[in-house]
């Protein structure tokens, strides 16, 4: 692929290795799909790893506050690529209206109810031993400290004070009954890498990432808590070029991160992605 893309080959090979390890070690495996760019790349890598197949379910946690275009995109891709889509939702919280947009929860509480708890419930219900997730180390400080294979307690907590060692691509695949694992095949990618790869492989993404009227989404979350960044990038190549220049942090438009110094850390310690 030439020197210009050498790093993408390296990233891709490493991710495929991790995905295959997870598939080999866990009978009951699923991938968490946020419909954002990272999880689209993850889904693509899974198809590469398994020669066009997605041999386990793809889970989407629907907060009911996603931007409508994302849901259309989700259902279309599931049809076209032919994988098993599982949708989870914290119906109880939604029925009770315990959400941020309703004014009955803070942003952070809303995130833990609609995402973390919904995922926890789904995992319990389906008995997934491990979940593949498209988080990256360069997104923010606590993710920078993640492992590829990250054990979670029954209570869903991330014990970042006592993580298992991980060396020479030997991962923690033995764990006590009742715990489960988060597997992070994209941990070593950067935001720019993700877009370079989307460009090289021609991977579909929702149009919200491209600029309209001088702004675009850089990170996609729920509509009430995500906003657009000023941008004129209307193609993937322009996005890559823009990101190589910018010094603005990727998640600066995600309101729940900004609430307090440790807001995101607390969310993640409880089991947020």
Give how many residues touch another protein by CB under 8 A: 58
DSSP 207-271: GGGS-BTTEE-SS--BGGGB-PEE----SHHHHHHHHHH--S-GGGGBGGGGSSTTHHHHHHHTT
Residue 247 contacts another protein per CB under 8 A? yes
Count CA atoms within 13 Å of residue 271 on its CB side.
22
Contacting range for another protein; rule: CB under 8 A; set: 4-12, 70-78, 116-124, 229-237: 4-12
Place of tokens 């973390």: 116
CB of 198 to another protein, least distance (A): 14
Under 8 Å between Cβ of 241 and 90: no
Among 102, 212, 232, 252, binds another protein (CB under 8 A): 252
- The secondary structure element, H or E, covering residue 40 is helix 37-49
CB of 151 to another protein, least distance (A): 9
- Binding residues among 31-60 for another protein as defined by CB under 8 A: 47-53
Residues 132-151, one symbol each (x = binds another protein by CB under 8 A, - = not), give -----xx-xxx-xx-x----
- Binding residues among 167-226 for another protein as defined by CB under 8 A: 167-168, 170, 172, 174-176, 188, 190, 201
Residues 6 or more apart whose Cβ sits within 8 Å of residue 217: 208, 209, 226, 228, 229, 253
DSSP 156-211: ----TTSPPP-BTTB------TT-EEEE-TTTT--HHHHHHHHHHHT----GGGS-
Residues 80-119, one symbol each (x = binds another protein by CB under 8 A, - = not), give ----------------------------------------
Nearest CB to another protein, comparing residues 69 and 262: 262
Q: What is the DSSP letter of 144?
A: G
Nearest CB to another protein, comparing residues 117 and 196: 196
Contacting range for another protein; rule: CB under 8 A; set: 28-36, 79-87, 108-116, 158-166: 158-166
Among 68, 80, 127, 161, binds another protein (CB under 8 A): 161
Q: Which residues pair with 215 in a beta bridge?
A: 212, 230
CB of 88 to another protein, least distance (A): 28
Q: What angle do CA 83, 28, 32 make, to 5 degrees?
A: 50
Residues that bind another protein (CB under 8 A): 3-7, 9-10, 12-14, 16-17, 20-21, 23-24, 47-53, 137-138, 140-142, 144-145, 147, 160-161, 163-168, 170, 172, 174-176, 188, 190, 201, 241, 244-249, 252, 261-262, 265
């Amino acid at each position: 692929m030439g020197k210009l893309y050498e790093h993408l080959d390296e990233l891709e090979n490493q991710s495929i290795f991790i995905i295959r390890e997870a598939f080999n070690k866990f009978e009951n495996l699923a991938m968490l799909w946020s419909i954002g760019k990272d999880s689209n790349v993850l889904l693509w890598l899974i198809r590469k790893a398994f020669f066009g197949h997605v041999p386990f379910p793809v889970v989407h946690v629907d907060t009911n506050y996603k931007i409508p275009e994302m849901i259309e995109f989700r259902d279309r891709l599931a049809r076209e690529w032919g994988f098993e889509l599982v949708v989870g939702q914290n119906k109880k919280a939604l029925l009770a209206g315990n959400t941020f947009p309703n004014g009955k929860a803070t942003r952070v509480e809303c995130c833990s109810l609609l995402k973390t708890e919904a995922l926890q419930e789904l995992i319990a219900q389906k008995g997934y031993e491990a979940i593949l997730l498209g988080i990256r180390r360069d997104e923010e400080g606590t993710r920078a400290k993640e492992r590829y294979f990250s054990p979670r307690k029954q209570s869903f907590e991330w014990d970042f004070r006592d993580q298992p060692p991980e060396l020479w691509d030997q991962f923690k695949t033995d764990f006590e009954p009742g715990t489960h694992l988060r597997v992070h095949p994209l941990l070593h990618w950067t935001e720019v890498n993700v877009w370079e790869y989307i460009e090289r492989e021609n991977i579909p993404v929702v149009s919200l990432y491209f600029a309209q009227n001088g702004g675009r989404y850089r990170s996609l979350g729920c509509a009430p808590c995500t906003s657009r960044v000023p941008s004129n990038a209307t193609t993937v190549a322009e996005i890559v070029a823009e990101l190589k220049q910018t010094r603005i942090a990727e998640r600066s438009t995600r309101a729940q991160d900004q609430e307090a110094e440790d807001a995101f850390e607390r969310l993640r310690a409880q089991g947020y992605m």
